[in-house]
């Protein structure tokens, strides 16, 4: 999937509306994880160096169309100012005379960040008038926000239909990395899926079963598969109403020759809290009053053995309650395994979400082949679904091939 990118655009002296994904965590008025901001910097720098006047736009959180002081983008503007080493003013609102004047005053090589787009309910409704107002700020549109590409909002779809539209460098990288998993993965190809609910990932599992050689399951979603095998999971997080889906997936995998790896031993705890009593048990039968919270050592070794020869790995979702350090060992061990695999030449793609947090916490981010900035978007892409924010961007024309005389 090749889209026209900013390398194809003439931006010198032009105002460029750049949809970025600065939906980052904040605490005490400061950005606590700036990875999404850093991911957009190559696109921002490229456009500035080529003489563009940038209007950056993002959402933050879910203000539901109302102004929320705790979701203002000023902390993001401050962090971006530090990273770029140039001033990034933030407007008081995405709309208004003051915003229009500030944009008109921009000179080539300067930039401004619009206030949270979702302070306006029209953003999520893809309201045509709101999109037209945003489009009036610029001559060119760039989408570098893969994390929101699965949403048909005004800033991801509406504006793109009104201006010459291009993919940013981050969007390009995301599409290349994820497309390679579906179109030309080196074999053996392993998918590791964790997180809370299997219901969120049934479609992606169905699609990946046509591509992968191995499916490794952990986290809360694995418990539903253990139920499908007739095992007790105590008070663990599970979806009994999805047992039939889990059983069907296991049968499909067997029919297609895909190896499925489920926990063989687990950490169980009396409560899912810090400081609680916990122990390791085989995954055969969990006491009725206990919770599965992590992978056991044997499960970790099983995954290590399975990944030894993998040439491509996709990982999305933690393999335990990794927010509690005592129950993060399985997730952290897999992160270290994948860093080692990548160093040995395997392609390792991390599909956004909490998996990324686990990798960043251990300082392993720079070892992975690609870390997606969009959890939900990456999963929908791997389901084979069309992403509105991607499909609206023009495709690159196929290269002409010379015909023999």
CA dist 238 to 83, 163, 220, 243, 296, Å? 42, 46, 6, 9, 18
CATH number corresponding to 6-172: 3.40.50.1260
Whether 136 contacts 363, CB under 8 Å: no
Q: How confident is the model over 2-31, as a mean pLDDT?
A: 96
User: Please, what is the Cα angle at 211 between 393 and 151, to 5 degrees?
Assistant: 30
Where in the sequence numbering do the catalytic residues fall? 36, 197, 353, 376
Alpha carbon of residue 146 to chain centroid:
8
d(CA 382, CA 370): 15
Residue with tokens 């570098």: 144
Residues 234-252 pLDDT 10s: 999 999 999 999 999 999 9
In this structure, what token pair is assigned to residue 18? 């750049």
User: Please, what is the Cα angle at 118 between 113 and 123, to 5 degrees?
Assistant: 100
Q: Do domains 6-172 and 185-383 have the same CATH topology?
A: yes
Residues 215-225 pLDDT 10s: 999 999 999 99
CA dist 157 to 22, 93, 166, 400, Å? 17, 20, 12, 29
253 pLDDT band (50/70/90 cuts)? very high
Least confident window among 57-66, 128-137, 314-323, 355-364: 355-364
d(CA 350, CA 342): 11
For residue 390, give the H/E element and its range: helix 388-391
Dihedral of the alpha carbons of 124, 127, 132, 138, in degrees to the nearest 10: 10
Q: What is the pLDDT of residue 400?
A: 57
Q: Is the pTM of this model over 0.75?
A: yes
Non-local (6+) Cβ contacts of 76 within 8 A are 22, 24, 31, 37, 58, 60, 90, 113
Whether 381 contacts 180, CB under 8 Å: no
* Backbone dihedral region for residue 271 (phi beyond 0: left; psi -120 to 50: alpha; all else: beta): beta
**Mean per-residue pLDDT over the chain, rounded:** 94
How many CB atoms are closer than 10 A to CB 108?
A: 15
Residue 134 has pLDDT above 90, yes or no: yes
Residues 166-216 pLDDT 10s: 999 999 999 999 999 999 999 999 999 999 889 989 999 999 999 999 999
354 pLDDT band (50/70/90 cuts)? confident
Residues 342-353 pLDDT 10s: 999 999 999 877
1 pLDDT band (50/70/90 cuts)? low
Whether 312 contacts 189, CB under 8 Å: yes
- What is the domain partition of the chain in residue ranges? 6-172, 185-383
Q: What is the pLDDT of residue 397?
A: 83
d(CA 9, CA 229): 55
Residues 265-285 pLDDT 10s: 999 999 999 999 999 999 988
d(CA 364, CA 195): 20
291 pLDDT band (50/70/90 cuts)? very high
d(CA 224, CA 229): 9
Report the Cα–Cα distance between both ends of the chain, in Å, rounded: 31
Non-local (6+) Cβ contacts of 236 within 8 A are 220, 223, 268, 286, 290, 291, 292
Residue 401 has pLDDT above 60, yes or no: no
375 pLDDT band (50/70/90 cuts)? confident
Q: Tell which CATH architecture fits domain 185-383.
A: 3-Layer(aba) Sandwich (3.40)
Question: What secondary structure letter does DSSP report for 271?
Answer: S
Question: What secondary structure letter does DSSP report for 3?
Answer: B
Residue 60 has pLDDT above 90, yes or no: yes
d(CA 80, CA 332): 29
């Amino acid at each position: 999937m090749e889209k026209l990118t900013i390398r194809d655009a003439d931006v010198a002296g032009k105002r460029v509306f750049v949809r970025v994904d600065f939906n980052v965590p904040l605490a005490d008025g400061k950005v606590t994880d700036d990875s999404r901001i850093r991911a957009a910097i190559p696109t921002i720098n490229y456009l500035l160096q080529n003489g563009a006047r940038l209007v950056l736009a993002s959402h933050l959180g879910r203000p539901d169309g109302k102004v929320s002081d705790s979701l203002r983008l000023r902390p993001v503007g401050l962090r971006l100012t530090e990273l770029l080493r140039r001033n990034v003013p933030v407007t008081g609102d995405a709309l208004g005379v003051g915003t229009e004047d500030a944009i008109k005053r921009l000179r080539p090589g300067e930039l401004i960040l619009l206030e949270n787009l979702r302070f306006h309910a029209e953003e999520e409704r893809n309201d045509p008038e709101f999109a037209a107002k945003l489009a009036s700020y610029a001559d060119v549109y760039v989408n570098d926000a893969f994390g929101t590409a699965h949403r048909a909002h005004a800033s991801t779809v509406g504006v793109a239909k009104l201006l010459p539209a291009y993919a940013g460098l981050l969007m390009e990288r995301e599409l290349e990395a994820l497309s390679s998993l579906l179109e030309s993965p080196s074999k053996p190809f392993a998918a590791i899926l964790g997180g809370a609910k299997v219901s969120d990932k049934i479609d992606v599992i169905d699609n990946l079963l046509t591509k992968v050689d191995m499916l490794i399951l952990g986290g809360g979603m694995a418990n539903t598969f253990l139920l499908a095998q007739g095992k007790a999971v105590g008070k663990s997080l599970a979806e009994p109403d999805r047992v039939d889906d889990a059983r069907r997936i296991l049968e499909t995998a067997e029919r297609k020759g895909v190896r499925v790896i489920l926990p063989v031993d687990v950490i169980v705890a009396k409560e899912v809290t810090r400081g609680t009593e916990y122990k390791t048990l085989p995954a055969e039968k969990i006491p009725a009053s206990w919770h599965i919270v992590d992978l056991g050592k044997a499960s970790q070794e099983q995954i290590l053995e399975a990944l030894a020869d993998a040439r491509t790995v996709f990982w999305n979702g933690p393999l335990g309650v990794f927010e509690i350090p005592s129950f993060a060992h399985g997730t952290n061990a897999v992160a270290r395994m994948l860093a080692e695999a990548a160093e040995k030449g395997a392609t390792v793609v991390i599909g956004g979400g909490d998996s990324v947090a686990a990798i960043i916490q251990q300082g392993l981010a720079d070892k992975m082949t690609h870390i997606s900035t969009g959890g939900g978007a990456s999963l929908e892409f791997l389901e084979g679904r069309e992403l509105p924010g991607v499909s609206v961007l023009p495709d690159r024309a196929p290269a002409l091939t010379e015909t023999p005389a």
